[in-house]
Each structure stands twice: as C-alpha cells, then as structure tokens.
Chain A
Amino acid sequence: MDKQKKRFWERMGIGQLIIPLTALALLLLFNLIRDPGFFEIVVNINNSGNPVLGGNLISVINSASELAIIAMGMTLVTAATGGQDISVGAVGAISASVFIKTLIGMGEVTGWTLIVAVLACIATAIAFMMFNGTLVSVFKIQPMIATLILYSCGRSIAYWITGSATPQVNSPIITAIGMTIPGIPVPTPVFMVILVGLILALIFRVTNTTLYTQSVGINQGAARLNGIHPTAVKMLSFGLLGLCVAVASIIATCRMSQVSHKTLLVDIEMDAILAVAIGGNSLGGGKFRMSGSVLGAYIITMLTVTLLAMGINSVNIKAYKAVVIIVIVAAGSPVIKNRIAALRNRRSVSEHSAVKGGAAS
C-alpha cells in the first residue's frame, strides 16, 4: 500500500512540485487570513453590456497568461540547452509590431486579416528565435550570451518596424482576444494559456520531444551517438519558444489594442526564468517538468496581486517580491534538502548500528 502510494507520487512527479505547491498554498492561506475578501469573485458588466468576471483571483489567472505561456517555452529551451533565452521580451515586441503593422496595413480587422496577422507574427517570432537557436546550436554560444544580442537591440528593431511610438488598432475582435469574448465571462487570455498548453501536450504525446530534449540537455554527446541530432532538438526548442512568444505578444497587444515597443512584455524574461526555477526545474538543463514552470508563473503573479491588494505601491513591489522569491528558492536549495535527508539517514543508521552492536557483543 505504502509502496504503491510512493510509486503513484513518483509517476506524477509531485516530488519536484512540493515546494511550489506549498508556496502557492501558503500564499493562499496568507490571503485567507489577511482578508478573505481577496477570494471574492464578482460579476461586472463591461462597457458593451456583457458580464465579465472580476476579483483578485480572476486577475491573477488573467494577468499571468503571457508569463505562463512564455515560461512553457522557456522550460524547453532551458532543458535542451542548459541556458536561458533573455530576449523573449524583445522578440515579443518585434513580433507584436509585425502583428499590428500587418493588421493596420490590411485595413479593417476581419477574421481573415487576423489569421494573416497571427501567422505573420508567429513566423516572425519563430524566425528570430531561430536566429538565437542557430547561434546556440551551430555556433555553440551560451544561450544567455547569444540572446543578449536581441535583448539589447530587439526593441530597437521593433521601433524600426512600427515606425511610430505606439501604433493602435481598434476592433471588437482585438478586444475579444485581449479582454473577453462577448457572452463568455472568463477572460480570453486564460483560454489561450489552455490552448498553448494543449498544443504542447499534443506535441509531447505524438512525438519524442521530451525524451530527446532531456537526453540532449543531460548529455549531448551521448544523445548524438544514439542517433539524436542535438542541433535539431535545440532548434526545435527555440522554435517552440518562438511560438509561445508569438502567442504571448498577441495577447499583450490585444489587451492594450496598441504596441508600445518600450513596454510591451518588458522584463518578462526575468519572470519567465524565475518561473522555471520556482517550478523546481534545474537551470542547468536536462530533466524538466513544464507544469512546474506554469505553477511558478501563477505563483509570481499571485504574489504581485497579493502585494498590490495589501496596498503596496506598485513601484515598490519588486523589493517585497525579492524577499519571497529568496525564501522559495532557499527552501528548494539542495543544501537544505540534503541537511534534512542527512538528519533522517543519521537516525536510521544509528538505529541500525545499535541493533548490530547489540548483536555483536
């Protein structure tokens, strides 16, 4: 019974998720004690007269969408390359610029123009990510360094594309993507997260992405000698990250109905990497658990919303956030884990040797 229980836990991989789950639970508990009103979900009527859900929890799952989506892609890149892409925000700005330029260029927004713009956006993001991927897998440059290039000039490229500071597009279709679809009270970005999650789950189901990515991340040389093409696997991970970045940039654009190259998805790379780490994934690559990263994204957002609800000035939030992050990562620190394990072991050894010593004498 006990053994089976353990196996079930192992198979579900809950072990890795214990710390993020605990963190999330503690955050919820904290809010429950502080102000049960935090959990209130209200139904508002928006400008066009449709019901829309509101409240802190809704705001958490809504505003975490871009982060959750990018964190999924970041997990793959981290696993395959053992490094992180710090250009996701900048590439997001570029693909958003292409998205909005295409939409504006085609005049009125219809379903068809939207599809064209979305495809253009995805193609752009994937192309730029492939540039990163090429540097990483062909030129063997550390991911963080390779993506530093686009990190430092990506937003300038975005500005160059848009040509003006903040191009705008107004259309009910755009609002439907960024806010809510009339008649459905749940914010659309939440569905986008589910959609991206399902797409990735499907890819994992029908291909060997997980096994290949982990093998390459753990031991590239050995993976190659088993017929895996490391370059292709790394490119694939960057390609999928590109897809995630494109979707996130579309959400971010549609939320505001405009693209501001300086602020769109700004600093999201840091939060995304943080989400990956909080989810219990090693930033050194190898084994990964995507659900952990998604959980990490919601924890980060939940933390922000909690701090805001506590009345902390939004510009000061970073300091408080830092403290909580430090506590979470310290709890997951290998040293602290080992200390606990050693304590347990010592107990079992002393029992064992006591029995033995008794027998010998």
Chain B
Amino acid sequence: MENIRDEAPRLFYDTTEGAARMQNDVVLTMRGISKLFPGTRALDNVDFTLRRGEIHALMGENGAGKSTLIKVLTGVYGKDAGSIHIEGIEGEAPIHSPQDAQNAGISTVYQEITLCPNLTVAENMFIGRTDGAIVNWKDCEKKATAILESLNIPARAKQELSSCSLAVQQMVAIGRAVDMNCKVLVLDEPTSSLDEQEVSMLFKLMRDLKSRGVGIVFVTHFLEQVYEVSDRITVLRNGKLVGEYPVAELPQLELVAKMMGKDLNDLEGLEKADRHTSAATETVYEAEGLSSTARRPFDFRIRRGEVNGFTGLLGSGRSESVRAIFGADRITGGKVRVRGKAVKITNPHEAMKHGIGYLPEDRKRDGIIADLSVRDNIILALQVMRGFFRPMKRSEMEAFADEYIKELNIKTASQNTPVGSLSGGNQQKVILARWLLTHPDYLILDEPTRGIDVGTKLEIQRLVLKLAEENMSVTFISSEIEEMLRTCSRLIVMRDGNTVGELTGDELTQAHVMETIAGGGVQHG
C-alpha cells in the first residue's frame, strides 16, 4: 500500500516540464452552469475551475450535482445556462455531444464501464477517434499493445473486452482516455470496482499524468483517496457550489461537514455507539455446508439481534456467501435451519417466506425497478410475500409508502415518481424501505453504503444498529472496514472464496482484520 509514491512509471510519452510551474494556468472554466430536470434543478449557477497539472476532487452528497456537472462538461447533457471555456479554444467551447467534448480535449472515464464488451480491447481504445472511413486495425492493435504494456494493464489488444475482468475493463477505459492526449481527464468514481493494488496503480498513473500537465477531475466517495491524491477540492451541495479549497486547508471532518451542510457532532456520536452484544439469544438462521454454484460449502449462523458481517477483498466471496443464504444463486448443497427448524431455501421467494430480506450489492442491476414508482418499489417485497392472489389495496400501499418515505427521509417529489430518477442514496433507502416493510427476522445488507454520500452512509449505519436493538438480525457487508467494525459484533473473514477466520470481541480491530485478510501477517500489496 505504501509504495505508491514510487517514481512514475515509464510511459511512452515525453515527460514535460514540472507541474509546479503550470499550477496556475487554467485549462477549464465553467461559469454559472444550470441544468433543469423535470421537477428538479440539478445544477444551479455552479462555477468550476480546473488548472493545468492538478488533481481536483469534486465532492458532494448524492444528488449534489456532481454527476450532472460532469455530464454537462462531457456533453452528455446540454446545459440550460452558463458557459464553458477551455484553454486554447476561443470563446465558448462548443460541447454538444461526447464527441465534441473529446475533440475539445476532455476525456472521461465513468464509474460504470462505458466500453463495448463485444469489441476487442484495441477497438475499444481507438474506435470513435480515427480519421477516414477505413481503419487500419493492425496499426491500432500495435499502438494498443504499446499502451497496455506501458500502463501495465493485463490485457491483450486482440482480446474481446467481455473476456476481461471488470477491473481490467476499467483500466482499458483509462488507457483509452490517457492516449487521447487530453487536457482534461474526468475520472468519475473510477476506483469503486478496483481493489487496493489496482487503486494504487491508478493513482500512480494519475500522478504521472499530472506531472505532464493534464488537469484531472476526480470524483469519488472515498475520502481517504481524495486526501491521498488531490490538490484541490470543490464541494457541491443540492446543486449549488459550496466552495473551492486547497486540500491542505480543508481537514477531512470539515469537508464532511461542508458536504452534508450540518454539524459534526452526529458523526462523533456514531463512533461511540455501543456495539450490540448478543449473548445467549436464539439462533435465527443456521447453515451447515451451504454451497451454491458460486460459493464453496460454508457454515454460518446468526443470533437474534446480532449484527455480523462478511469481510474480505473484492471478489473474495462475500457477496456470493449472502447470495447463497438468500437462494439467489443455484444452491448445490447444505443444511439450513431457521429458528431451529430444518428448511429448504433454494430461491429468493422461499428465503423471504422464512423471514429473510436481502439488499443486493448492485443497486441498479438487482435492486430497483427503475421505471416503477417509489410506491411500487417500496411495497414490492411485501406484496410478493402476501401472494399473487392477494393484491394490496391502493390506500394501503399509499399509507405504507408515506410512512417509509417519512421514516427514512427519502427525498422524492412524490410517491409516483419513478425510482430511477432518484439519486443513488435515495434509491438505496427505497430498497431498504422495501425490506423493512416486510419486517424480516434477518436482514442481509450487501454494500448498502457503496456509491452513496457520507450523510446517507451514516444514516444507514445508525439504522442497522437500531434494527439490531429491536431484535432484528443483520448481516452487513461493506468495503470500508471501519464501517463494519463500527456495526458488527462478529466478522467472518474471507479470502479467495474461503472462510479464513472469524473475529469477535477484542479481535475486532482494523489491524487484526487486515492481517487475517492478508493471511497471517503477510502485508498485502
């Protein structure tokens, strides 16, 4: 982890002058940007300035307008007011489409992979930016190989992109952006699907680009990462600009306060929260040798009112474990007991009937039904549990939806708003509401805090502790170990698809968890 500040990797570019001298040259100015969506003002008179050779973090809660600002900058959305100026372009920059943005020297790497999986790696790197009708793909493959090698990306130029892992696909996207000799590189949540080594590789690359004078806009939810690489921070809240600060002048807690627009006392209260200890309560769920097509056999149990969690690196089998518990993947073996009674759970419906709820890791893909209203999304699970032949009354649905919109503080124009138009954090709350409404005995939360703003993260952690006090059992998974240490009384540590340890009580320290993950004291990375 700590070897990040190694010398920059040798790229195939000429290294240019030092970064310090260029610090003050502005490459991008956005002034008075406004953007309206039906019902909301996503951006309201926002300014943003990017200098040559700086890494500029763009921060804000969900719904603060970061994504919208970036999409305006990259031509995905048109702006309703304001101006964009780019160094070297007279007058207002003509950005009406992603292609315009690319031509103007703005390259973007989005959180979701925005490459074409059915094309090869080389094609993905060069498509959309070649001249002439006929493309010399041989030449492109050669160039792509050079880029892949120099950036240490483990992929081959002729390989179909769909056969690469998500992390590699992300790196290919960065490779493409890097090769475009861009003045402005926008990285929108680039690290959320990368593991630690990959993040450090990326940071190495970012510093190198910075030294060559590229201005980098860096959007992330990981505060530590901001402080690790950024020079400057711009904070947005509710579509408005809060301010622009050099990193050194903005301590982490102050940043959080600015993003949330509230005092820090709440934050500290949570740190001190008592961990719920469940001594001799009933075992709610117990599995013996449970296995699925995606998970090797494992044992697991949880008591009433207990909060436990699976931890491990990305892809270590955390999610696969809880998916097996919920019957989301095909179950291949094992014995399951719910409240002491032997039961069979082979699909989600059966799990729900036994009082289990599951908030999936991928909110967009597995969680929300985007075009359905907030109301329908909230009552969905309860309705399914009641049965196909027992539809709820409209008034009942409305009452339930109102109750949970209020209780979880879901920001939505109305119950009828399609859930897809809500911000990420609020979508997550809708899914939470969906499961809370079914009053499960046992709730599984897989990465409920991923990709959402700090405020909502805290709200969710607090909620987990509250639910446990109300005697609900919760399995909580998060990439941020701190969050898990704060909430869980027992951690199951996983590595490469196997359980490698179970930590309770005094063992629950960051160092200990890391050690177990890394495998008996061998430092990772």
Contacts and interface: CB of A to CB of B under 8 A. Distances in A.
Genuine A/B complex: yes
Interface of A: 10, 205-208, 211-212, 214-215, 218-219, 221-229, 286-287, 341, 345-346, 348-350, 353, 356
5 contacts: A207-B388, A222-B360, A226-B384, A349-B80, A350-B81
Contacts of A227: 347-349, 352, 381, 384-385
Contact of B368 (A219, A224, A286, A356): A219
Given A211-B376, A211-B380, A349-B34, 15 more contacts: A206-B391, A208-B384, A214-B372, A215-B376, A219-B368, A219-B369, A221-B365, A221-B366, A222-B369, A226-B348, A226-B434, A227-B348, A227-B381, A349-B36, A353-B34
Q: By DSSP majority rule, is chain B's interface helix, strand, loop, or mixed?
A: mixed
Q: Would you list the 7 A-B pairs with minimal beta carbon distance, nearest first?
A: A227-B349, A227-B384, A349-B80, A227-B352, A218-B369, A218-B371, A219-B369
A356 B45 CA distance: 10
Contacts of B384: 208, 226-228
Interface of B: 34, 36, 38, 45, 80-81, 326, 328, 347-349, 352, 358, 360, 365-372, 376, 380-381, 383-385, 388-389, 391, 416, 434
Contact of A218 (B38, B372, B389): B372
A222 B367 contact: yes
B349 A345 contact: no
B369 A353 contact: no
A15 B302 CA distance: 49
A101 B81 CA distance: 70
Contacts of A349: 34, 36, 80-81
Nearest to A233: B388
Contacts of A10: 416
A225 B348 contact: yes
B239 to A, nearest CB: 13
A223 B369 contact: yes
Given A215-B372, A219-B368, A353-B34, A226 B380 contact: yes
Contacts of A223: 369
Nearest to B390: A208
A207 B389 contact: yes
A286 B369 CA distance: 9
Contacts of B38: 341
Nearest to A223: B369
A222 B372 CA distance: 12
Contacts of B360: 222, 225
A206 B366 CA distance: 28
B313 to A, nearest CB: 24
Given A207-B391, A222-B367, A222-B369, A229 B36 contact: no
A212 B376 CA distance: 10
Given A221-B365, A228-B384, A287 B372 contact: yes
A222 B365 contact: yes
Nearest to B80: A349
B80 A346 contact: yes
Contacts of A228: 349, 384
Contact of A222 (B80, B366, B416): B366
Nearest to A215: B369
B184 to A, nearest CB: 26
A174 B306 CA distance: 69
B366 A225 contact: yes
A205 B38 CA distance: 32
A222 B385 CA distance: 15
Given A221-B365, A223-B369, A227-B385, A215 B36 contact: no
Contact of A345 (B80, B328, B388): B80
Interface centre among A221, A227, A341 (most CB of B within 10 A): A227
Nearest to B349: A227
A229 B370 contact: no
Contacts of A350: 81
A215 B419 CA distance: 12
Contacts of B352: 226-227
Contact of A215 (B81, B380, B416): B380
B97 to A, nearest CB: 15
Nearest to A286: B371
Nearest to B360: A225
Contacts of A222: 360, 365-369
Contacts of B36: 345, 348-349
Contacts of B416: 10
Nearest to B326: A225
A346 B79 CA distance: 10
B365 A229 contact: no
B339 to A, nearest CB: 20
Nearest to A210: B391
A236 to B, nearest CB: 9
